[in-house]
Amino acid sequence: MTNQDFGSFNRAGTITDQAAFDVGLRAHMVRVYNYMASGLALSGIVAFAVFNFGEVAALFFQVERGYVVGMNVLGWVAIFAPLGLLLLVSFRAASMSVGAVQAVYWAVTALMGVSLSLLLFRYTGASVARTFFITAAAFGALSLYGYTTKRDLTAMGKFLFMGLIGLILAGLVNMIWPSGTMSFIISAAGVLIFSGLIAYDTQKIKEQYAAAWGSDTAEKVAIFGALSLYLDFVNLFQFLMMFLGQRR
């Protein structure tokens, strides 16, 4: 099945109603974006609560005069737990129920709010808001491209995945031997990689819908698609903050 003809054939190999498929695809994409937007809203609420309520912040961070100077055990758990949950989903996706996948999604987005609260402690509220809207505009344009393009982005996806691995390794090296130049290169590469991933993942969601069309896995596919786009958005936002954020 090509990208130009998603879902043109059913299991029996006969031509299906393309109009019905298109309507279903649009409804699926709306469901994906609704999940993603709700996840971002939950992350924002958690980040706002951690930043504005000292009792909540004290659960995760050591804060002095409005600045985070250290991490508590619960803070480290909150930061690394999303990675563990994502690994769990990647290995158990097929056997997990829709309710379990939803629970993991909301847990990941809530815990990510703890990490994102660090941006509020580090940068001014105005620059955070401005960068968020810039990210949202960029996301909209890139996702629209991924949805409408007839070009197969599979090859670009493989390249972006290799770039992501290199980005992670470079980040680890920069943590051990900090370098301002390396930090700038990592930030620029991060913006480019996650910009590309937004378009790639949007097209991939269309392919996943075509594969799941007519089955009972559509809801799970929508959640996984939303999770991919959520992570792309959050990472793009964080890397853009390194360029556009104004420190307190």
16, pLDDT greater than 70: no
User: What are the structural domain ranges in the chain?
Assistant: 3-244
Residue 213 pLDDT: 63
Statement: residue 97 has pLDDT above 80? yes
CB atoms within 10 A of CB 165: 10
* Dihedral, CA of residue 104, residue 129, residue 193 and residue 224, to nearest 10: 20
Burial of 139 per CB tally in 10 Å (0-12, 13-18, 19+): buried
For residue 6, name the pLDDT band (cuts at 50, 70, 90): very low
Q: What is the DSSP letter of 65?
A: T
Helix axes 98-122, 18-52, angle to 10 degrees: 50
Query: For position 17, what pLDDT does the model report?
Result: 64
Mean pLDDT computed over every residue of the chain: 86
Instruction: Looking at mean pLDDT, say which of 25-29, 52-56, 136-140 comes out highest.
Output: 136-140
Task: Say if residue 12's pLDDT is above 50.
Answer: no
pTM equals 0.88
Euclidean distance between CA atoms 176 and 18, whole angstroms? 54
Question: Which secondary structure element, helix H or strand E, spans residue 81, and what is its range?
Answer: helix 73-92
Tokens 């003809």, located at residue: 5
pLDDT in tens, 153-198: 888 888 998 999 998 898 888 888 887 888 888 889 999 999 999 9
For 58, the token pair is 């004290």
Percentage with pLDDT > 70 across the chain: 91
Residue ranges of E strands in 34-154: 61-64, 67-71
What average pLDDT score do residues 20-46 get?
Answer: 91
Structure tokens at 3: 């990208």
Calpha distance 131→244 (Å, rounded): 7
The pLDDT of 56-75, averaged and rounded, is: 85
What's the mean pLDDT in 200-227? 84
C-alpha to C-alpha distance for 76 and 72, rounded to whole angstroms: 7
What pLDDT is stored for residue 13 in this prediction? 40
Residue with tokens 């109603």: 17
